[in-house]
Structure 1
């Protein structure tokens, strides 16, 4: 197995307990709508994602897990509270600087792959660097392509690849600029179990061999078991944290959430 070279890291956000966070939200509140239609998707969430750790975000449908990821990544703005990428507070940036930060210091992997169909595999992988006007490090890209196992597919277009291969291209693209943190939103949602395991293993190796940070939203206990820690949301609040998760423990916790929700509805009715 090829080992990715470790890039020079950027300054992390250090809090009083000494933890270095690649990304963090503090007292995060996100409200959609107003009046009778108001929804508090996040309700005072404070959580950090340590450098060099793989974190999974889980919770029932509507718990706020995707909203948390989008606000932490700078794809959406908080109603109140703060969000940081390393030591940079996102609310202090104008649109241009926020776009540059996302391009240069944040990687994204989505369920739908989001590859450009007219570009080759090689062109899709190098796209973040091209958009930033940066020259690619040939040794870095060669190592990255070797790790994702796509050396023989560089001239292919996405339509010529399987779903698992397309998602591996998306992971390589997310890592191409050597970001502080990679956010993955249901990255295995469109994949079969074998392809999903390959992609999760790839994200895990990126954490271990690059000292990078991965934050993944998932509903799948098996996927969450690849993480170093699972954080649980319910009704827009952080309600639990589980270090060293297993699929069985995560599933039991989710079932407990379901039972609590059903009991609360029964009382309310």
Structure 2
């Protein structure tokens, strides 16, 4: 199994180990994972419940620290940064899209989009910002507040906010988890189109094979280890691969596909 060369990776982890607890309660969430997320590409991370996919994303994005190994954004080793350095790196070089949108209710759409730039004291590139607003289809909603928007519109605001500062990489954690299928499809197309239109990088954790099919590549985790990579994924191929990984027994019997899918939908790990 090969990983993306370091020189082409917008983000990567090397020999990543993450352990929670100790003794009898120890959980090895990541067990020696080395994987790169290529620049200018849309990568999905998948795996059964408890496989370590969200832990991988959180550590790669500097939201959590590794027990051992390295996490890098470009050539910057996150372990070499203090808290202030990590805060600045996340603000200036990383974008985030979360399942719960995380918009500030007192700010307008326009203010939510430019919030990371405002916090960093950076004047937005108006031409690029205008193009981004048109891409996400929010031109007629700029003066609305989040409570006046649908869930899909709120997530489009979150996507625009994530890309507003032209980050090196955007991390998306179950970005369609709170959306209906139509809104979710719109957000996924938006992420894919933005990657291909701007050359930015997106790394997305998802439990949904249909969502993963929008990515350029899927990486699969199981028991805290990288077990496979799939280029040009389709929902059917991803689902088949997930079935082969999701062998955790329920009541002593292998989980059938329907039960396993239900379990994955309910899991946010």
Q: Same fold (TM over 0.5)?
A: yes
Which residue does 2:85 correspond to in 1?
Answer: 97
Render the CA deviation track for 1:26-49: whole Å, top value 9, x for unaligned: 000000011111100000000000
Following TM superposition, by how much is the alpha carbon of 1:17 offset from its aligned partner in structure 2, in angstroms?
Answer: 4.8
1:175 to 154, 163, 169: 163
Cα distance change on mapping 1:16 and 1:25 into 2, 3 Å: closer
Q: Does 1:61 align with 2:69?
A: no
Q: Does 1:86 align with 2:59?
A: no
1:14-33 matches, within 5 Å, as: 17=5, 19-33=7-21
| Structure 2 spans left out of the alignment, 5+ residues | 255-269
Render the CA deviation track for 1:165-190: whole Å, top value 9, x for unaligned: 00000000000000000000000000
Following TM superposition, by how much is the alpha carbon of 1:262 offset from its aligned partner in structure 2, in angstroms?
Answer: 3.6
Render the CA deviation track for 1:144-177: whole Å, top value 9, x for unaligned: 1000000000000000000000000000000000
Which residue does 1:7 correspond to in 2?
Answer: none
CA distance in 2, matches of 1:88, 1:70: 16
Q: Count how many residue pairs are aligned between Structure 1 and Structure 2.
A: 251
1:157-168 matches, within 5 Å, as: 157-168=145-156
Does structure 1 retain, via aligned residues, the 8 Å contact 2:152–2:187?
A: yes
Which residue does 1:187 correspond to in 2?
Answer: 175
CA distance in 2, matches of 1:47, 1:149: 34
Following TM superposition, by how much is the alpha carbon of 1:255 offset from its aligned partner in structure 2, in angstroms?
Answer: 1.1
Render the CA deviation track for 1:81-111: whole Å, top value 9, x for unaligned: 0000011000001111110000000000000
| Structure 1 spans left out of the alignment, 5+ residues | 1-14
1:148 to 119, 136, 147: 136
Q: Does 1:203 align with 2:198?
A: no
CA distance in 1, matches of 2:243, 2:45: 16
Does structure 1 retain, via aligned residues, the 8 Å contact 2:108–2:145?
A: yes
Render the CA deviation track for 1:186-231: whole Å, top value 9, x for unaligned: 0000011111111011110111111111000000000000001101
Following TM superposition, by how much is the alpha carbon of 1:258 offset from its aligned partner in structure 2, in angstroms?
Answer: 2.3
1:99-114 matches, within 5 Å, as: 99-114=87-102
Following TM superposition, by how much is the alpha carbon of 1:266 offset from its aligned partner in structure 2, in angstroms?
Answer: 6.9
- What SS does the aligned partner of 1:203 have? helix
- What SS does the aligned partner of 2:190 have? helix
CA distance in 1, matches of 2:98, 2:48: 19
- What SS does the aligned partner of 1:69 have? helix
Superposition CA RMSD, Å: 1.6
